[in-house]
Amino acid sequence: DAGVTQSPTHLIKTRGQQVTLRCSPKSGHDTVSWYQQALGQGPQFIFQYYEEEERQRGNFPDRFSGHQFPNYSSELNVNALLLGDSALYLCASEGSTYEQYFGPGTRLTVT
């Protein structure tokens, strides 16, 4: 049973560029959430997708957008990258319980 998978593992981008991160949820899970984890901090909630719609959103600017596909996989898009966007981006999927299961993350470095 595959867990949550994310791609790519690492990414280096230049300030002002755009980036797309991808996530496949755990088998049987239909809800995907995205988190940003800065160095030395806990993960911070960006948004959650369910039935291809954004269901909840944290305190992140509109530069952060997402999408969920019919197979429940999801993308996180960040436009006009800033140096402060450098972080570990985590995807988590959720089934019928409240527990969320995380992928290994994508390490984004903005130079």
Partner 1 sequence: DQQVKQNSPSLSVQEGRISILNCDYTNSMFDYFLWYKKYPAEGPTFLISISSIKDKNEDGRFTVFLNKSAKHLSLHIVPSQPGDSAVYFCAAFAQGGSEKLVFGKGTKLTVNP
The piece of 14-22, 34-42, 65-73, 76-84 that touches partner 1 (CB under 8 A) is 34-42
108's enclosing H/E stretch is strand 106-110
Member of 44, 73, 75, 95 binding partner 1 (CB under 8 A): 44
Member of 1, 2, 14, 42 binding partner 1 (CB under 8 A): 42
Position 74 contacts partner 1 (CB under 8 A):
no
Q: In the structure encoding, which two tokens stand for residue 36, read together?
A: 């940003």
Nearer to partner 1, 52 or 54 (CB): 54
- For β-strands 106-110 and 87-94, DSSP reports them as antiparallel
Site string for partner 1, 79-98 (x = CB under 8 A): -----------x-x-----x
Q: Which residues contact 39 (CB under 8 A, 6 or more apart)?
A: 87
Position 101 contacts partner 1 (CB under 8 A):
yes
Q: In the structure encoding, which two tokens stand for residue 103, read together?
A: 């992928």
Q: Are 21 and 87 contacting, i.e. CB atoms less than 8 angstroms apart?
A: no
Nearest to 67 by CA among 104, 105, 32, 30: 32
By the criterion CB under 8 A, which residues form the site for partner 1? 4, 6, 33, 35, 40-45, 48, 56-58, 90, 92, 98-105
